[in-house]
Structure 1
Amino acid sequence: MSTPLDLYRPGLALGRDAQALHRAAMPQFSGWLEHTRTAGGCARPVRLTGTIAAVERQTGRVLGEQHTDEMPDGVLYKACGNRRVSHCPDCAWVYQGDAYQVVRCGLTGGKGVPASVGRHPVVFATFTAPSFGAVHHRYIPRHTCATRQRCDCRPAPCRARSSTSTCRHGQPAACFARHDADDPRLGQPLCLDCYDHGHQVVWNYFAGELWRRTKQAIERHLAGLCRRRGIPFVQVVTDSGRVRWVPPVRVSHGKVAEMQRRAAVHFHVLLRLDGVDPDDLDALVSPPVGITVDDLEAAIHAAVRQITVTTPSHPDQPQGWTVAWGEQVDVRRINSAGGELTDGKVAAYLAKYATKATEVTGHQSTRLTPATIDDYADPEGDHLARLIDACWHLGRPTGTDTASGAATADDRQGSLDTKPNAYAGLRRWAHMLGFGGHFLTKARRYSVTFGLLRDTRATYRRAEDDGSTDTVTVGVLTYAGSGWLTEGDALLANTAAAQRRQARRIGREELAHEAWLVGAAA
């Protein structure tokens, strides 16, 4: 005889609505809905089996123990935690909220960050990639709209030319179209054969190293200004006990990577000037009086002009590729008089892009393997197919017999005498078009961490459920699968989660309105 749970096994001829109705009609439905609350809204939750024990924090004594077999569905549901909104909107919504707090606390303080950071000079800079070939683009020479979010200004012709010449492959070198914002041609090369796809994926791959050197150059520029202006260096004692003299100013950053439509990554970076406390290196203090936001802007522009990265030699490019920033480097001040950028807008902007990846290019896939690469890569295909093929081709193993895939004795000895292939990671990140970095990173001293926010949220929920923080939950769990058991379960859990989110949003709005009324009355 089948059990009630068997009715929900995949393969049973029940539609989604019928599955949901049957689940809702079960006597244990309320318990099941509460059981799935922590993962409600997740598109593909993780199912875990094992034992969960409640342990007293002070003594380590086990107060209670429960096996997942005693729980609804015999499993414990855990949200997948995926940050990408295209994969799981609910988990991305949580991640976006955390990203907003990480960025905002670095601008205004809070959650352990002193409020004094709000008085530190800070700029919002955008670093773009150079050109790898002509692409269709949308350019508005002059904005007359009230807000950029609802811009309806007429764009200029894409690539107007006085003559309708063609490239060496016979493709038109001009485009007189005035592209709409949703035109699928935006970001596509005018000539696929002229475009340097290999250089672009290498740029994406080494963009993180380019940023690292750029930040070092910014700090060196500011240190030089301190020397020339007579601002004394600070004597500090390192953890190893050594005495060092360090510049009195340092730069803390929060950075978000955004993929352009042409599939080249660019960075939006918050750079904040901090001082150095000789007695506490982790303290956030104001920079010295002699260094201003003008100096920070000058340092950024100087570093962008100076810093380049020459990549290691490759069989296809023995001299390596040059990785440098593009000409379009935008630096704006935040919370300046008459400026459009405020800390809240910047934090929301960066948090939004922290949940995206390659969606704007039209490509979405998991990590590619030799079994799946042919579904996406094609040296004669469209723009994305050629970029993925370039990643796979440039990241191929070196020093082996590519025809048979086996290495000779000489090849094996050669691999011992040389460094590993510096481009091997391109295959690992082919699904990301070469970019292997995290989409949101920050300096250690910039703000709070995601881990701290997650721990705080878990502690709050534990106290809310148990009424006490004296116990710790310890689980010995193993992976049982991913996803809801049926589409009907997903519908019920996600609907309940959406209702809870809506209730929280309304509650926050009511609290904000009450605070406004109190302030207006005062």
Structure 2
Amino acid sequence: MSTPLTLHRPSVASGRNAQALYRAATPEFSGWLEHTAAAGGCSRPIRLTGAIASVEMTTGRITGQLRTDELPDQALYKACGNRRESQCRDCAWVYAGEAYQVVRCGLTGGKGVPDSVARHPVVFATFTAPSFGAVHHRHVARHTCRSRPHCDCRPAPCRARGAAGTCQHGQPAACFARHDTDDPQLGQPLCLDCYDHEHQVVWNHFSGELWRRTKQAVERHLAALCRRRGMPFVQVVTGSGKVRRVPPVRVSHGKVAEMQRRAAVHFHVLLRLDGVDPDPNALVPPPAGITVDDLEAAVHAAARQIVVTTPPHPDRPHGWVVAWGEQVDVRRINAADGELTDGKVAAYLAKYATKATESTGRSFTRLTPATIDDYADPEGDHLARLIDACWHLGRPTGTACGATTAGDRQGSLDTESNAYARLRRWAHMLGFGGHFLTKARRYSVTFGLLRDTRATYRREENDEPLDTITVGTLTYSGSGWLTEGDALLLNTAASQRRESRRIGREELAHEAWLTEAAA
């Protein structure tokens, strides 16, 4: 007589394979898998406990109620929603998809944006930081590779020209190496003592203000061009009821910040030329007298013209000069060469919207007085010196120096009198405290609209009444999956779903190409 097989719950030390086997063998496995599907690929989901109810919006009647102690694991799982790929691959994948739609709709229309925007002049500009010192770099004069991220072209010598010999600190002033794409020396200064780390973190910190003034300069340049060409200004009514005469063109933008290997931020920006209509909600094309050539010239002129002088600092009474570097690249979208299409640009920006400081080789969490000594070192490597510069320049100044307690010192960092105080808050981002994806209000749709649309679609797909809302009285009970085996099962299932969707999109694109070719 055979003995029936009995499964015993594995201990934490049993390993994730044993834990996954036990979970998959339980009778409620299918229900558990369906219940956790919404957060299945999340690395560290949020666990909530309590009750949720469906309520009719018109009458307030409760049509259904569910308590989390009736659910698998007695908890409701919610994805963390972290946009960083290094922190949560699945949530970053969702965010990148939403970012792609936000950027693409501003180029082609759709989801409430008129299709006519596809005929508006658009340029794709890249604004880089200036040099703060010589760094190791990889330069390929002419690419013959198929993929730039996996470039295998033979590069030129790193720094074979220029100053020979050594710098004032005794370090070589030239580098004759031909660096590979994964060479850890890329982005590192040739001499750490010659490199201006303080200027770089200040540039990162004020780069958002530099961009704001640059866009204003682009619009001023176009407005002056309209005056010279005799184009009539448009009368619009402001929100306060006043009538203003404004230029007949405006610029809408979508912008992504990217951290270079040397830990300096640069911006990839889509600038679209729009017209102005008395109806504030209308999105119209620009007048025929302003072309993409004018937009391109305006961007170059603004990049050369705009310079920001930062407020005084005890270490620099006259402040620092913040300006763009010499490499300002402006290219056209959907040109005859076909190199830059709206789809490629949208995918490019969406990819970098999920990045942070990973390109520098390290990723940090927010730093505090208790942890700063583990990362900042004025005599350390490149990143350690940048973090130390942030912490040193962001120290309390003026009246803040008289603070007696740690709480007083921390409170003084948030005062408006110290323009550099937030450098400490953003020391883990090497001084940059802006959003990695921003856009003008008129450029495209919002993330909130995309998420609301997706939620409505799911409710319709599940035949849920649209006149009801879900009300939850939930409390936080923890984060992360209960076992490593659960994480293994759910992350594998989520990876399969992602791959299935990718193959489906490719098949649809192939069918559309065949239909177009047959026509």
TM-score (norm 2): 0.94
Q: CA deviation at 1:282?
A: 2.3
TM alignment of 1:232-311, pairs within 5 A: 232-278=232-278, 280-311=279-310
Equivalent-residue separation in structure 2 for 1:210 and 1:341 (angstroms): 26
Confirm or deny that 1:143 pairs with 2:143. Answer: yes
Alpha carbons of structure 1 residues 365 and 214: separation in structure 2 relative to 1, 3 Å: same
The CA distance in 2 between the partners of 1:501 and 1:349, in whole Å, is 19
Contact 2:163 2:173 in 1 (8 A): no
Measure the CA separation in 2 of the matches of 1:406 and 1:499: 53
Q: Secondary structure at the match of 2:14?
A: coil
TM-aligned CA deviation for residue 516 of structure 1: 4.0
Deviation (angstroms), 1:419: 4.8
Q: Equivalents in 1 of 2:75, 2:392: separation in Å?
A: 43
Task: Name the amino acid aligned to 2:103.
Answer: V
Change in 2 beyond 3 A, CA 1:163/1:385: closer
In 2, Cα distance between equivalents of 1:68 and 1:137:
55
Matched residue, 1:104: 104
The CA distance in 1 between the partners of 2:100 and 2:400, in whole Å, is 50
Please state how far the C-alpha of 1:145 moved relative to its aligned partner.
Answer: 4.4
Please give the secondary structure, in 1, of the residue aligned with 2:156.
coil
Whole-angstrom distance in 2 between the partners of 1:74 and 1:428: 38
Deviation at 1:513, TM superposition (A): 3.8
2:432 corresponds in structure 1 to 435
Q: Determine if contact 2:52/2:67 at 8 Å carries over to the other structure.
A: yes
- On the 8 A contact 2:151/2:181 being kept in 1, the answer is no
3-state SS of 1:172 partner: coil
Unaligned runs of 5+ in 1: none
Q: Secondary structure at the match of 2:92?
A: helix
**Superposed displacement of residue 462, structure 1:** 2.2
SS at match of 2:13: coil
> What is the distance in 2 between the residues matched to 1:447 and 1:162?
46
1:372 matched residue in structure 2 = 371
Q: How does 1:108-123 map to 2 (within 5 A)?
A: 108-123=108-123
Q: Measure the CA separation in 2 of the matches of 1:312 and 1:57.
A: 53
Helix, strand or coil: the match of 1:13?
helix
Indicate conservation of the 8 Å contact 1:277/1:283, yes or no. Answer: yes
Instruction: Quote the residue 1:312 is aligned against.
Output: 311
- Higher mean displacement: 353-362 or 52-61: 52-61
User: Are the counterparts in 2 of residues 205 and 436 from structure 1 also a CA contact under 8 Å?
Assistant: yes
Alpha-carbon RMSD: 2.3
Runs of 4+ in 1 over 6 A off after TM superposition: none
- Aligned with residue 474 of structure 1, among 471, 481, 486: 471
Structure 1: how far apart are the matches of 2:400 and 2:209?
31
Count of equivalent residues = 510
- Equivalent position of 2:3 in the other structure: none
- What is the alpha-carbon distance in structure 1 between the residues aligned to residue 358 and residue 374 of structure 2? 18
Question: Conserved in 2, the CA contact under 8 Å of 1:400 and 1:406?
Answer: no
Structure 2 partner of 1:444: 441
Decide whether aligned partners of structure 1 residues 131 and 513 sit closer, same or farther in structure 2, where only a CA change above 3 A counts: closer
Greater alpha carbon shift after TM alignment, 108-117 vs 53-62 = 53-62
Structure 1 residue 406: Cα displacement: 4.6
Contact 1:429 1:435 in 2 (8 A): yes
Contact 2:134 2:189 survives alignment (8 Å): yes
Give the percent of matched residue pairs that are identical in Structure 1 and Structure 2: 81
Distance 1:177 1:521, change over 3 A: closer
Q: How does 1:192-231 map to 2 (within 5 A)?
A: 192-231=192-231
1:108–1:343 Cα contact (<8 Å) kept: yes
Give the stretch that moved more between structures: 396-405 or 268-277: 396-405
- 1:463 maps to 460
Cα distance in 1, alignment partners of residues 9 and 80 from structure 2: 25
Q: Distance in 2 between matches of 1:182 and 1:519?
A: 41
2:505 is matched with 508
Write the mapping of 1:418-433 to structure 2, written as runs, cut at 5 A: 419-433=416-430
- Name the residue aligned to 2:20: 20
Cα distance in 2, alignment partners of residues 62 and 155 from structure 1? 68
In structure 2, the gaps of 5 or more residues are 1-5
Greater displacement, 63-72 / 82-91: 63-72
* Residue-by-residue CA offset, 1:347-403 (whole Å, 9 max, x unaligned): 111111111110010121211111111111111100000001111111111236869
State whether residues 128 and 328 of structure 1, in contact with CA within 8 Å, keep that contact through their aligned partners in structure 2: yes
- Distance change (3 Å), C-alpha of 1:482 and 1:150: closer
Separation in 1, partners of 2:513, 2:304: 47
Alignment partners' CA distance in 2, 1:295 and 1:517: 38
Distance 1:74 1:243, change over 3 A: same
Alignment partners' CA distance in 1, 2:142 and 2:381: 33
Residue equivalent to 2:393: 394
The offset of 1:150, in angstroms, is: 5.1
Mapped to 2, the partners of 1:470 and 1:498 lie a distance apart of 34
SS at match of 2:96: helix
C-alpha displacement at 1:336, in angstroms? 1.2
Give the distance between the partners of 1:260 and 1:368, measured in 2 at CA.
Answer: 21
State which drifts further: 263-272 or 467-476: 467-476
Deviations 1:311-366 (A, max 9, x none): 11111111111111001000001111124111111111111111111001012121
Match of 1:84 in 2: 84
Q: Which residue matches 2:127? A: 127
Matched residue SS, 2:462: helix
1:152 aligned partner:
152
How far, CA to CA, are the matches of 1:263 and 1:493 in structure 2?
Answer: 35
The 1:497/1:150 distance shift into structure 2, 3 A limit, reads: closer
- In structure 2, do the counterparts of structure 1 residues 147 and 378 end up closer, same or farther at CA, with 3 Å as the change threshold? closer
The 3 A distance-change label for structure 1 pair 235 and 12 is same
In 2: Cα distance, 1:43 partner to 1:100 partner? 22
Choose 309-318 or 142-151, whichever is displaced more. Answer: 142-151
* Cα deviation digits, residues 419-456 of structure 1 (max 9, x gap): 52111111111111110011100000001111111111
Rounded to whole Å, the distance in 1 between the matches of 2:181 and 2:192 is 22
Residue in 2 that maps onto 1:48: 48
C-alpha contact (below 8 Å) 2:161/2:174 kept by paired residues: yes
Question: Which amino acid in 2 is paired with 1:291?
Answer: I
Shift of 1:495: 1.4
Deviation at 1:59, TM superposition (A): 2.2
Q: What one-letter code is carried by the residue in structure 1 that aligns with 2:296?
A: E
Name the residue aligned to 2:191.
Answer: 191
* SS at structure 2 position matched to 1:219: helix
